């Protein structure tokens, strides 16, 4: 009887885990930081406010408002930063032989810092393009059906879904995927690289503090000293 009970418990546990993975209840990532207005929802539901520590699951949408940022961390320590006025859909999770973290950027921009692992792959898609990312850093921006990819480290394959053409965008390069199917790649300018680097730091603003000290000279004269520091 004890053996049968153990067997039944294992069957129930296995079924529950399988169902959870198929129904999209398994978290794909966690929101580790929220700046200002960030919300999430599943299809056909209302938006609700995201707080630090909230999990993100398959088919969930995340949106940011003006001057808002969401920092999202995955199990392999890869990080993406959803920048202001953006909307992202979580599409994919674990596959039999690899983890495919597939996300659709409906509008806006993301800064990404992806950990290089053999069985981990990340894709950012839009109505125009798919960027296949494996161990790299950069920024993906989608607006008015024009997609812009800047890479500061590693190589990203950028594919145009209209023409089916694809090309690699390497370190310190910028790629453009146009709604007419055209693809372009060139070296990024210093300003474009600097803008990308800023997106990789978005949300890292530290709190500024101030200390006021009252000092006295050898003759007894009082002097005020102000020290600014960040934490």
Per-residue pLDDT of 59-102, as tens digits, reads 899 999 999 999 999 988 999 999 999 999 998 766 666 667 88
Average pLDDT over residues 134-152: 93
Count how many Cα atoms sit within 13 Å of the Cα of residue 84 in the half-sphere of its side chain: 8
Tokens found for residue 212: 């006021």
Q: Residue 178's pLDDT is what?
A: 97
Average pLDDT over residues 152-173: 96
Q: What is the CATH number of domain 29-230?
A: 2.60.120.1440
Q: How many CB atoms lie within 10 A of CB 111?
A: 27
Q: Residue 127's pLDDT is what?
A: 92
> Where is pLDDT greater, at 219 or 124?
124
Q: Residue 94's pLDDT is what?
A: 62
Beta bridge partners of 214: 224
Share of the chain above pLDDT 90, in %: 59
For the chain, the average pLDDT equals 82
pLDDT at position 20 over 60? no
Q: Residue 16's pLDDT is what?
A: 40
| Cα–Cα–Cα angle for 51, 76, 201, rounded to 5 degrees | 60
pLDDT at position 231 over 80? no
> Where is pLDDT greater, at 18 or 146?
146
The residues, any chain, with a CB within 8 Å of residue 190's CB and separated by 6 or more, are none
Most confident of 47-61, 117-131, 204-218: 47-61
CA distances from 139 to 60, 108, 133, 192 (A): 21, 11, 11, 10
> Where is pLDDT greater, at 42 or 85?
85
Which pTM value belongs to this model?
Answer: 0.76
Q: Residue 17's pLDDT is what?
A: 39
Tokens found for residue 139: 């920024």
CA distance linking residue 185 with residue 14, whole number of Å: 48
Q: How many CB atoms lie within 10 A of CB 51?
A: 9
């Amino acid at each position: 009887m004890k053996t049968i009970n153990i067997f039944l418990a294992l069957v129930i546990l296995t079924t529950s885990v399988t169902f959870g993975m198929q129904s999209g209840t398994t978290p794909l990532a966690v929101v580790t930081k929220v700046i200002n207005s960030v919300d999430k929802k599943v299809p056909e539901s209302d938006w609700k406010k995201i707080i630090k520590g909230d999990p993100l699951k398959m088919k969930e949408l995340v949106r940011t408002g003006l001057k808002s940022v969401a920092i999202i961390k995955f199990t392999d320590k890869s990080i993406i930063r959803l920048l202001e006025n953006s909307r992202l859909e979580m599409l994919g999770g674990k596959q039999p032989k690899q983890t495919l973290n597939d996300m659709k950027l409906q509008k806006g921009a993301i800064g990404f810092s992806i950990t290089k692992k053999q069985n981990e792959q990340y894709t950012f898609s839009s109505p125009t393009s798919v960027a296949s990312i494996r161990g790299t850093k950069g920024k993906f921006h989608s607006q008015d059906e024009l997609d812009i990819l800047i890479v500061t480290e590693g190589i990203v394959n950028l594919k145009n879904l209209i023409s089916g053409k694809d090309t690699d965008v390497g370190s310190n390069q910028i790629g453009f995927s146009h709604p007419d199917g055209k693809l372009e790649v060139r070296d990024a300018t210093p300003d474009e690289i600097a803008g990308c680097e800023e997106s990789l730091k978005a949300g890292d603003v530290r709190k500024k503090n101030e200390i006021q000290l009252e000092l006295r000279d050898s003759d007894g004269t009082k002097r005020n000293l102000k020290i600014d520091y960040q934490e």
